A and B are shown apart, each in its own frame.
Chain A
Amino acid sequence: MPRYLARRLGQAVLVVAGVVVLTFAIMRLVPGDPAVAFAGPKATAEELAAARLRFGLDDAIPVQLWNYVRDLVTGDWGISLRTRQPVREDLLLAFPASLELVGAALLIAIAVGIPVGVLAARYKTKFPDFGVRVASMLAVSVPVFWLALALQTVFASNLGWFPVAGEYDSVLDTTSPLTLWTNITVVDALITGNWPIFTSTLEHLVLPALVVAAYPAGVIAQMTRAALIEESGQDHARLERALGFGETSILTRFALRPALNPVLSLIALVFAYAIVNGFLVEAVFNWPGLGRYAVESIHSLDTPAIAGVTLLVAMVYVLANLVVDLLQGVVDPRARAR
């Protein structure tokens, strides 16, 4: 196990190092002078020179790369050209809201995807299976931006069932201020018993979370279906049938557990994917997460901020995969040998 752990950790560090080099290259390959983005569109030659000096843009590229890596390791992710604040601070402000949205979306995706996948496997090639396959195909392929606008227009604007946008009703900042512990609003509201903000956040979460959940739910449903169908063709299923167990019982009592193994790996992958997929959803629903930060950073060519978002998302990917790898190593010794 220690060797397996060391190998996986080593691989994770290599991937992160690769991403660091890549983000540095992106920052330097983007056409134009980053000093212009910092000093403003009407900057004088002196102001541009001062900005270049401040960011070490006149140093040789290897020196700049070394400084970048050294700063990252010491927790300095650079200064945003747009907000003029440390990128790390900006990310720590925005990331919890994204985590809140994606967490809620994944809960919905798991709660919907797995039972629906079981249903499709149980009625393979029959109408429910056909319905699930069509629905999951739609959920996976429909553009999130369009889905977000459609749900917002119908359920918020026209029917008025949900709020149009935002994380919670801002009036509550005055009437019921929230004490922050984790920076995740719904968690903090729960911990501190701030029910007005808790219920308001849940109301505001429904539509964006449903949109972000669409893709993971579709993928999880399809993966669950495929894994269950494969498991139900195994020797143990034939034995269970011979012992008189019904198909539903075989699927839920015996086949589901081994079938969930690849599904759980998939959840780790879609978690990180959903963060990026949620960027446009956050923009539509005014969700104050990484998406808005990333969109505004891209719009203003704020390369340190773009690199920071890229690096953070890459680290979430690597971390999620590492956790799954390690846990699979714990539960399935064969994984350690691979």
Chain B
Amino acid sequence: MRWHKRLLVAGVAGAVAMTATACAGGQVRGADRTPKPSATTSESAAAATKANDATFVYAPNLDVVTDWDPATSYSNEIIAMSNIYEGLTRYNTQSQKPEPRLATEWTSADGGKQWTFKLRQGVKFHTGAPMDAGAAKKAIERTIKMNAGAAYIWGSVKTIETPDPATLTFTLKYAAPLDLIASSGYAAYIYDTAAADKLKDGKTDAGTGPYTIDTWQKGKETELTLKAYEDYWGGWKPEQYKKIAFRVTPEITTAWQLLQKGEVNFVERLNPQLFEKAGATQGVQTSQTPSFQNLLLLFNTATGPMKDVRIRQALQLALDYDGLVAALKGAGKKSTGLVPQGLIGYTANLEPKQDLPKAQELLAEAGYGRDLPELKLKMTYAQGDEDQKLLVTLLSSALKELNVSLEAKPMAWNAQWDQGKKQGQDIFVMYWYPDYADAYSWFLNVFRSADKPQFNLSYLKNTEIDKEIDALPQLTATDKFAAEQSYATIQKQIIQDQAAVAVPYVQTYQRALTADVQGYVDNPAYPNVVFFYDLKPAS
């Protein structure tokens, strides 16, 4: 053998040797299936066609599952888990109320400190075990005990009792809207705790939902497939999708091409240009829904020039809200107040407007502005976020006219947050969203006084506002009308009186689906989740 041939052979041998480390030792890719002999070409093509006909393909841009445990799961897997597991209730954005799921009815007493849920009868976990009050109690108690992910949502729970197999009674330490809490997309799943230790490898699940795990291949393009759970309590109609596939597609342009070819049915977000194109493309339909995620410009109320409320108010008036929303091309909707539409607390009359003369006047009163000393401000925002970059461009240009220079620094979240906790900027830009459909999250986390700021990055300290915030859970649990009023009052105090924040827009979900999918409704309480059970292909 000639030497260069030997070299080539050695190279190939080396490559094979390297991969030997990854040797899988004869495992079958996919589920625990015995390898079948290869079908004939026509047979496999026919089978493929049949399988494709019944499969709904979702194209997420990130890996689907990082945590299979329903107690601790707190990430992108919500898009799959919400179809495998169910909670006691599910939030309806239209009615702004939680609706029955595993619980059919519920009542509260003792000023929102006592809650009784009646459970649906005849429900079985995918493990075959019956779902009753005892099982639900064990699931919630395990989630609380694990104390990870969003387990904090059960923080108000003191005891759980099961007077009979169909009744679950909660006694709370303090009043809270437990029907809303139980609708959370995280940490509120009811699951069979007996199977909890076997969930890690993604081969089985312990939910009650309409779908169950078929295959999970971590790191693969089609990472996860689900199949219909035949004994689902809601029953099945022939036209519903029985198989679901999650095909991970990080590149938006690739997702768009796959959608056009009908290889995927749902793309969770396209860029504005492609979304516009999708709206005019045959075979594709689009859906646009305001989310529960809004952008906050938190002004430093504690130190630096923005300690002066007139400067904070000037900043609120300087931003071109309409121009920004227009430039976002549908990716954002102008906000009114802190609470997005669809949540209790949404206030329609707090729409912000640009007013440069008024802003100039306020700045002049504070000793800055045209023909006065230049005001220099530091702002931090998320690296790689094009929407925030657009905001920076528009705000900088508006402020320049007022003799205010903005030093805007894009940063990775953990670095930005670290600096924020040390009060290292004048304006902190971040998104906020609730873990369940309750506006309380904005007020408790972002605006309640804190000695060591965690998310209160406007550093607002106001005991009156704190008192009103602390009263919100009880009001929401007992008197929704009073809660609405209180939310409106607090928002006026925070936005108008204290000028601690500017809220430029609420993000809009821009989905693209193949035209043959019917029944899709975006529910922003469950970000990026498609409830496949509600869909059917056009006949």
Residues of A within 8 A of B (CB): 30-34, 36-37, 40-42, 44-45, 47, 82-85, 90, 92-96, 99, 103, 149, 152-153, 156-157, 160, 164-167, 169-184, 187, 192-196, 257, 260, 264, 267-268, 283-288, 292-293, 295-296, 299, 301, 316, 319, 323, 327, 330-331
Q: Is the CB of A180 within 8 A of B28?
A: yes
Interface residue B16 (Cβ < 8 Å from any Cβ of A):
yes
Q: How far is the CB of B65 from chain A (nearest CB, A)?
A: 9
Interface residues in B, total, Cβ within 8 A: 77
Asked if B14 and A152 sit within 8 Å, CB to CB, the answer is: no
CB distance from A42 to the nearest CB of B (A): 7
**Assuming the A-B contacts A172-B44, A180-B27, A180-B29, are A99 and B18 also in contact, with contact meaning beta carbons closer than 8 angstroms in the complex?**
yes
Q: What 9 pairs across the A-B complex have the smallest Cβ distances?
A: A32-B414, A32-B415, A180-B24, A31-B415, A170-B222, A36-B414, A171-B48, A93-B219, A183-B22
Q: B260: which A residues are within 8 A, CB to CB?
A: 157
User: Given A33-B418, A92-B22, A182-B22, is A177 in contact with B15 using a C-beta cutoff of 8 Å?
Assistant: no
* B36 and A177 form a contact (CB under 8 A): yes
Q: How far apart are B31's CB and chain A's nearest CB, in angstroms?
A: 8
A166–B36 Cα distance when bound, in Å, is 23
Say which residue of B16, B44, B215, B258 sits within 8 Å of A182 (CB atoms).
Answer: B16
Q: Which residues of B contact A323 (CB under 8 A)?
A: 10-11, 14
Q: Would you call B247 an interface residue if the criterion is a C-beta within 8 Å of the partner chain's C-beta atoms?
A: yes
Within 149-181 of B, Cβ neighbours of A (below 8 Å) are at: 152
Cβ contact within 8 Å between B222 and A175 = no
A15 to B29 Cα, complex, angstroms:
37
Most chain B Cβ neighbours within 10 Å, of A94, A182, A330, A331 = A182
Q: What 1/0 mask marks residues of chain B from 433 to 471 whose CB sits below 8 Å from any chain A CB?
A: 001000000000100000010110000000000000000
B86 within 8 A of A: no
Q: Quick check: A165 and B250 within 8 Å, CB to CB?
A: no
10 residue pairs from A and B, CB less than 8 Å apart: A30-B415, A37-B414, A45-B454, A92-B21, A153-B257, A169-B48, A171-B51, A173-B225, A288-B221, A319-B14
Q: Are A181 and B23 in contact (CB under 8 A)?
A: yes
Q: How far is the CB of B459 from chain A (nearest CB, A)?
A: 16
Asked if residues B23 and A183 are in contact (CB atoms below 8 Å), the reply is yes
Are A174 and B51 interface neighbours, CB within 8 A?
yes
Q: Which of B206-254 contact A (CB under 8 A)?
A: 215, 217-222, 225, 245, 247-251, 253-254
Q: Does chain A have a CB within 8 A of B417? A: yes
The docked-state distance in angstroms from the alpha carbon of A175 to that of B384 is 41
A98 to B33, CA, bound (A): 26
User: Considering the chains assembled together, what is the distance between the CA atoms of A171 and B45 in angstroms?
Assistant: 9
Whole-angstrom distance from the CB of B453 to the nearest CB of chain A? Answer: 11
CA distance A170 to B63 in the complex (A): 16
> Smallest distance from the beta carbon of B503 to chain A beta carbons, Å?
19
Q: Are A165 and B219 neighbours in the complex by a CB distance under 8 Å? A: no
Q: Establish whether residues B222 and A157, one from each chain, have CB atoms under 8 Å apart when the complex forms.
A: no
Q: Mark B374-407, 1 if CB is under 8 A from A, else 0.
A: 0000000000100000000000000000000000
Q: Which of B11, B25, B36, B148 contacts A176 (CB 8 A)?
A: B36
Contact of A96 among B22, B25, B250 (CB under 8 A): B22
The 8 Å CB contact of A83, one of B36, B63, B152, is B63
- A32-B413, A45-B454, A171-B48 known; A264-B26 Cβ under 8 A: no
